Amino acid sequence: MTEISTLGEFGLIDRLTEGLAPFNASTLLGVGDDCAVMNYASDAKNRVVATTDMLMEGIHFDLTYTPLKHLGYKAAMVNLSDVYAMNARPRQLLVSIAVGRKCKVEHLDELYAGLRLACERHGVDLVGGDTTSSLTGVAISITCLGEVEEERIVKRSGAHDTDLICVSGNLGAAYLGLQLLEREKRVLSGQKGGTETVAQPDFSGREYLIERILKPEARRDVIDALQKAEILPTAMIDISDGLSSELMHICKKSGVGCRIYEEKIPVDYQTALAAEEFGMNVYTAALNGGEDYELLFTVPLTAHELVTTLPDVKEIGYVTRAELGQKLVTRDGQEFDLKAQGWNPLAEKSEA
């Protein structure tokens, strides 16, 4: 293992960013000056989008079970997901990382390997950042820039009465994956200082849940499929805090109500099994679990036929007038008000 101080800040940056070649014509100047320089399409229709997210050790991730490569990958995905949620295409990433004394050069190599893999898969250029130290935990802050034609921008505010509510993939898997990891952590920490035969965690049959929490994938494929099918959503948001919370954002911003059906909420078989094991209602996990990084969007009622042709997209309900409220209809036909019980990092320490 190599001490960071042997390379110095600039030697470290050179090492971490070595051989980065731009994927995008808009990237004129990357790492190595006071700013990155971009040349976006000089087209009156072209718009630039920007989003930023910060991940803090102990709040957003636990290094006892999070490989650094996955952490780098996920930190990028969280931001890419926000860009896709505007129906935009990610182009550039700026990465700031603060690490403690225990962190060696090889740890940062791992983290950057994950960041680079995410950038490669999504055709994004790593153009800048800041690498500094932390007295305590690891902090990662990423900013993503993207492009979109003005008429293709999809905000949270465009949903209309009678629109269909759609969601990609399935929900609740990341939340159950986190529960599995936390349980294993408790078991293993109980064995500390114990005998020589320390049990290794056995996640066989649950790999999908573990992958959903540790290595989520931003849904570019859904944005591609929507474009190919010539469907322009009226409103869109990515699901980071849980379906309920995100749907309520769309309703608030659009001035509408909604009605969704529990039985239509997509849930994976592994998620359902794990929920049963934890004695938990799987729909609670799907509605409030968070960290799914799926896309939630609304389309005009007339797009129903087209939506059914989209792979991995489900209709879960429809938009109503605001005065009808934000409703969940359960399997047994009862109606409940949706509640935002999503992950709130600023409230008391959450389970998630």
Give the three-state DSSP class for 276: helix
The minimum distance between CB 306 and a copy of itself, in angstroms, equals 23
For the chain, the farthest-separated pair of C-alpha atoms sits apart, in whole angstroms, at 68
Q: Does 31 bind a copy of itself (CB under 8 A)?
A: no
Q: Which is nearer to a copy of itself, 151 or 202 (CB)?
A: 151
Q: Which residues contact 126 (CB under 8 A, 6 or more apart)?
A: 17, 20, 30, 31, 92, 93, 94, 95, 115, 116, 119
> What track of x and - describes contact with a copy of itself for positions 139 through 158 (by CB under 8 A)?
x-x-x-xx-x-x--x-xxx-
Q: Does 224 bind a copy of itself (CB under 8 A)?
A: no
The minimum distance between CB 352 and a copy of itself, in angstroms, equals 13
Q: Does 75 bind a copy of itself (CB under 8 A)?
A: no
Q: Does 2 bind a copy of itself (CB under 8 A)?
A: no
Among 16, 71, 76, 85, binds a copy of itself (CB under 8 A): 85
Q: Does 20 bind a copy of itself (CB under 8 A)?
A: no
Tokens 């629109």 — which residue? 163
Half-sphere exposure of 235 (CA within 13 A, CB side): 25
- Considering just the CA atoms, what is the radius of gyration of the chain in Å? 21
Q: Does 270 bind a copy of itself (CB under 8 A)?
A: no
C-alpha 36 chain-centroid distance? 25
Q: Which is nearer to a copy of itself, 33 or 332 (CB)?
A: 33
Amino acid at 81: S
User: Rounded distance, CA 264 to CA 101, Å?
Assistant: 49
Backbone φ/ψ region at 332: left (φ over 0), alpha (ψ -120 to 50), beta? alpha
Q: Does 8 bind a copy of itself (CB under 8 A)?
A: yes
The minimum distance between CB 266 and a copy of itself, in angstroms, equals 21
Phi, psi of 248 (to 5 degrees): -65, -35
Q: Which is nearer to a copy of itself, 143 or 168 (CB)?
A: 143
Among 130, 263, 276, 335, binds a copy of itself (CB under 8 A): 130
Q: Does 322 bind a copy of itself (CB under 8 A)?
A: no
Q: Does 135 bind a copy of itself (CB under 8 A)?
A: yes
Cα–Cα distance list, 344 to 240, 287, 312, 352 (Å): 11, 14, 28, 9
The minimum distance between CB 62 and a copy of itself, in angstroms, equals 11
Q: Does 291 bind a copy of itself (CB under 8 A)?
A: no
Among 24, 131, 168, 234, binds a copy of itself (CB under 8 A): 131
Q: Which residues contact 94 (CB under 8 A, 6 or more apart)?
A: 36, 126, 127, 128, 129, 142, 143, 144, 145
Among 20, 29, 229, 280, binds a copy of itself (CB under 8 A): 29
Q: Does 344 bind a copy of itself (CB under 8 A)?
A: yes
Q: Does 122 bind a copy of itself (CB under 8 A)?
A: no
Backbone φ/ψ region at 124: left (φ over 0), alpha (ψ -120 to 50), beta? beta
Number of residues that bind a copy of itself (CB under 8 A): 77
Stretch that binds a copy of itself, among 163-171, 184-192, 266-274, 339-347 (CB under 8 A): 339-347
